[in-house]
Amino acid sequence: MAKASPKSRTAYVCAECGGEHGKWQGQCADCGVWNSLSEIVLESAASAPAAARRSGWAGKLELPQITALRDVRSSEDARVSTGIGEFDRVLGGGLVEGAVVLVGGDPGIGKSTLLLQAMAQMSLTLPSLYVTGEESLAQVAGRALRLGLPMDGLQALAETGIEKILDHAAAAQPKIIVADSVQTLWTESLAAAPGSVGQVRESAARLVRYAKETGTAVFLVGHVTKEGGIAGPRVLEHMVDAVLYFEGESGSRFRVLRAFKNRFGAVNELGVFAMGEKGLKEVPNPSAIFLSGGSAQQSGSCVMVTREGTRPLMVEVQALVDSSPLSNPRRVAVGLEQNRLAMLLAVLHRHGGIVTSDQDVFVNVVGGIRVQETAADLPVLLAVFSSLRDRPLAEKTIAFGEVGLSGEIRPTPNGEERLREAATHGFKRAIVAKGNAPKSGAFKGLEVVAVERLSQALDVATG
């Protein structure tokens, strides 16, 4: 790696917002985050042109032309399929020309496997380049052979220097590039170590510029920190077009790919996969894997229809209420916001007459799904009520709805679509807000019970 030149200057960059500071300080003056500054060595102004000339692609892209927007051809409609339907769904229908996609997740969850499978399929019709900075080419080829992937059109490169990678890309002219991972990349214009804030930011910036100027789609693999965020500067997520997180419970073969940012599709879109001997397989009916057989007849269980992106998804909410020996009973929520659970229990006491102040309350969303919408309010309270009274809900019952602080049941968006999904899976009764009652007639085989108050929902839940 090149050493810092005498004219190089030192700066301190915030890992959260990317703000630069002339000296170290405990708190970033731009975003207010504490202990987020790290030292980087910046290239001098005189050395910047020399660094650009060393890269074969930089000279060609140095002077972009001003163009009338009406003369620009839109590429959003020209999407390329990855060959994996669930992956296409999360991307918004396929891969857009020149898009930069950041894929993050825990170690060993399947990020490299998914991208290798997608690259093998896309390389059959488009020139592709798989750049690995963590594995040898023999390891990548061994995984592809083990998964039974076609390798005839897939090119691979073991390199971490961004200048060399871009030189190879300029020569091979691939339409799709995978960089695994962005934390291993480094540029010779900076003296900082690979994985540092400056190296990650500068390497990603050069790949983003290359993608936009040449129309090459780029996938960046990112590691996550112990807090669950992608390692490196927070500005990295702002630079790319899409941020996808690969999630999964330890010991479970199911994986969930979720879009947290997508300039070309729906945010919070969900794709479900199952890990097997031949890699990741699509799950055609995700609702089925989140519903355990016979659970609707057990106390403390309620099925809801949530909406992830453009897809309605049925999940099971379980609750366990038990007397607490503690002066401050526990409130534990897995897959839900814990503060909202405390608020809902207060509403249950005030407007439902159900006391849980001396009870431990545990709530879990089955299958490792995290539900972030307020449609889960009513199912959570019905599951808590069922567990406390030890009375299961009526067979084949689903529920969804937001619960207000005054005890009213508020409607949720796309109510008819959720009811249609429930009817498709054979449910017989739905407890919903009055505003979600279908106006164009009932769904075949599904009785819709419209309620306005929480007390009404509790009365009909176990009936």
* Residues 348, 331 share a domain: yes
> Is residue 352 in some structural domain?
yes
Say what the pLDDT of residue 74 is.
66
Same structural domain, 307 and 385: yes
pLDDT bracket for residue 59 (50, 70, 90) = very low
Q: Are 258 and 351 part of one and the same domain?
A: no
Q: Write the CATH number for 118.
A: 3.40.50.300
Structure token digits, residue 438: 């279908």
Is residue 253 in some structural domain? yes
CA distances from 221 to 62, 204, 360 (A): 27, 11, 41
Q: To which H or E segment does residue 377 belong?
A: helix 377-389
Tell me the pLDDT band of 47, cut-offs 50, 70 and 90.
very low
Contact 98, 215 (CB under 8 A): yes
**7 falls within a domain:** no
2 or 168, higher pLDDT: 168
pLDDT over 90, % of the chain: 58
Q: Among 252, 284, 316, where does a domain finish?
A: 284
Does residue 63 belong to any structural domain of this protein? no
- Residue 198 has a pLDDT of 81
Establish how many alpha carbons lie within 13 A of residue 196's alpha carbon, considering only the half-sphere containing its beta carbon. 18
Same domain, yes or no: 351 and 217: no
Residue 4: the pLDDT is 46
Comparing CA positions, the residue from 419, 334, 344 lying closest to residue 385 is 344
Confirm whether 35 is domain-assigned. Answer: no
Q: Give the three-class secondary structure for 296.
A: helix
- Same domain, yes or no: 208 and 351: no
Q: Which range has the worst mean pLDDT, 35-49, 103-117, 145-159, 302-316?
A: 35-49
Give the structural domain span for 415.
289-461
Domain membership of residue 8 (yes or no) is no
Whether residue 321 contacts residue 380, with contact meaning beta carbons closer than 8 Å, is answered with no
Same domain, 272 and 318: no
CA atoms of 203 and 194, how far apart (whole Å): 10
Geometric angle at alpha carbon 408, from 404 and 412, rounded to 5°: 70
Q: Kindly state whether residues 310 and 394 are assigned to the same domain.
A: yes
Number of domains in the chain: 2
Asked if residue 415 belongs to a domain, the reply is: yes
Residue 43 pLDDT grade (very low, low, confident, very high; cuts 50, 70, 90)? low
> What is the rounded average pLDDT for all residues in the chain?
86
Instruction: Determine the Cα–Cα distance for residues 387 and 407; give it in Å rounded to an integer.
Output: 20
Quick check: helix, strand or coil at residue 14? strand
Examine the domain organization and report whether 405 and 313 are in the same domain. yes
Q: Which of 261, 284, 307 is the last residue of a domain?
A: 284
* Better-scored residue on pLDDT, 253 or 429: 429
Instruction: Indicate whether 389 and 294 sit together in one domain.
Output: yes
Tell me the CATH number at 379: 3.30.230.10
First to last CA, the chain: 72
Last residue of a domain, which of 284, 301, 319? 284
- The verdict on 262 and 312 lying in the same domain is no
Do residues 203 and 83 share a domain?
yes
246 in any annotated domain: yes
450 shares a domain with 312: yes
User: What is the pTM for the complete model shown?
Assistant: 0.77
Q: Please check the confidence at residue 8 and state whether its pLDDT lies above 60.
A: no
pLDDT of res. 64: 64
Helix residue spans in 123-269 (DSSP H): 137-147, 162-172, 197-214, 235-239
